[in-house]
Amino acid sequence: MLLWPKDEPWPTCPGPHVVPTETPVPPQFAAQLRMPGPEVLEGLARMVTGFAGIRTTEAGTVLLGTEIVSEPAASPLVPVAQLHAADVPDLRCPAGTDVLQVLWCPNEHPTDAPAGPPVLLKWRAASTVVDQLDAAPAPLVVSEETYLPNPCVLHPEQVTEYPWWQELPNDLGRRIRDFDDTLGYGEHGYFSVSHAPGWKVGGCPSWDITDLVPMDCPHCRQSMDILLTVDSTESGTNQAWRPVEDSHLQPSHIDPEWAAAYEPTGVSVGRHGQLRIFVCLTCPDTPIRQNLQ
Ligand SMILES: [Zn+2]
Ligand SMILES: [Zn+2]
């Protein structure tokens, strides 16, 4: 449970949210949708809001879509992480604080694309919380199960990361890129060892999906700092960063021990990627920025 004063209002999200819809297809039309051509799909996209495909099961055929709904009441955010400065040496806290709390709304939002669930950061001084709330209020609506983290205890480990190749001097970055291109499948190069997978504080952001996107503060025009990375796996796909403690495990999604080591938080963001939260440490009023890779 987050360290939260009993008399402090719990943050909520008023919505609206994007919810999945299923429109049943009358059985006499289902056969025509088995191999739909482009014209049929275009027609369905005009008829069904947020058309996302056709699903046929023994129960029948449905058209999948999404719609935006307003909520009758604001829904409590869910706790995502709590980091104490004493446990995480790379956590740079604003003056007078020593705890970072991260919360988000476990639903899809019309404005999410492409940056994932809207995150709320709360910095506080642990010593100021005297009368503590026992449990977080449950969210009223949850459309994204993978935005509900499994309760986990952190075992932070400090590692060294190196800048994304496009953030290095041109010549050096290009030589590193060329070197990585000479490697064969399964060989570890700069790309796989310079950035650790898993949830992390600080480090160097990687830009493997979009290439480098400048994350500049609109106030001071300086590059914002990466505060936190929320990752969908702890050891990534290339296994260069597989923990020694897990080295006896063979990758297998049907092995519960492997799954617990590989995806212990149960959180998946983007297309099983990383959500990164950027802050400007110089300008406290600058809103955080989120980026998905
Ligand atoms: Zn929400
Ligand atoms: Zn700034």
- When the pLDDT of each residue in the chain is averaged and rounded to a whole number, the result is 92
The C-alpha atoms of residue 111 and residue 119 are separated, in whole angstroms, by: 13
Ligand nearest to the CA of 287: 2
Alpha carbon of 220 to ligand 2 centroid (Å): 4
The C-alpha atoms of residue 92 and residue 181 are separated, in whole angstroms, by: 36
Determine the pLDDT at residue 113. Answer: 62
Determine the pLDDT at residue 114. Answer: 60
The C-alpha atoms of residue 79 and residue 130 are separated, in whole angstroms, by: 19
> Tell me: the pLDDT tens digits for 113-154?
668 899 999 999 999 999 999 999 999 999 999 999 999 888
The domain spans of the chain are 17-69, 72-147, 165-292
> Tell me: the pLDDT tens digits for 8-29?
999 999 999 999 899 999 988 8
> Tell me: the pLDDT tens digits for 23-52?
999 988 888 888 888 888 898 889 899 898
Determine the pLDDT at residue 111. Answer: 78
Neighbours of ion ligand 2 (CB under 5 A): 217, 219-220, 280, 282-283
Determine the pLDDT at residue 54. Answer: 92
Q: Dump strand ranges (E) for the chain.
A: 12-13, 17-24, 53-57, 60-69, 75-76, 78-84, 99-104, 119-124, 200-201, 225-231, 274-279, 289-292
Residues 155-164: what's their mean pLDDT? 93
Determine the pLDDT at residue 28. Answer: 84
Alpha carbon of 66 to ligand 1 centroid (Å): 15
Determine the pLDDT at residue 185. Answer: 85
Alpha carbon of 105 to ligand 1 centroid (Å): 5
Ligand nearest to the CA of 117: 1
Residues 164-183: what's their mean pLDDT? 96
Ligand nearest to the CA of 288: 2
* Comparison of pLDDT for 165 and 243, the residue scoring more: 165
**5 falls in which pLDDT band (50, 70, 90)?**
very high
Nearest to 207 by CA among 216, 198, 218, 215: 215
| Sequence-distant (≥ 6) Cβ neighbours of residue 240 within 8 angstroms | 188, 192, 193
**207 falls in which pLDDT band (50, 70, 90)?**
very high
> Tell me: the pLDDT tens digits for 53-107?
999 999 899 999 999 999 999 999 999 999 999 999 999 999 999 999 999 999 9
Q: What percent of the chain has pLDDT over 70?
A: 99
Structure token digits, residue 116: 């994932």
The three-class DSSP label of residue 75 is strand
Alpha carbon of 270 to ligand 1 centroid (Å): 16
Is the pLDDT reported for residue 223 higher than 70? yes
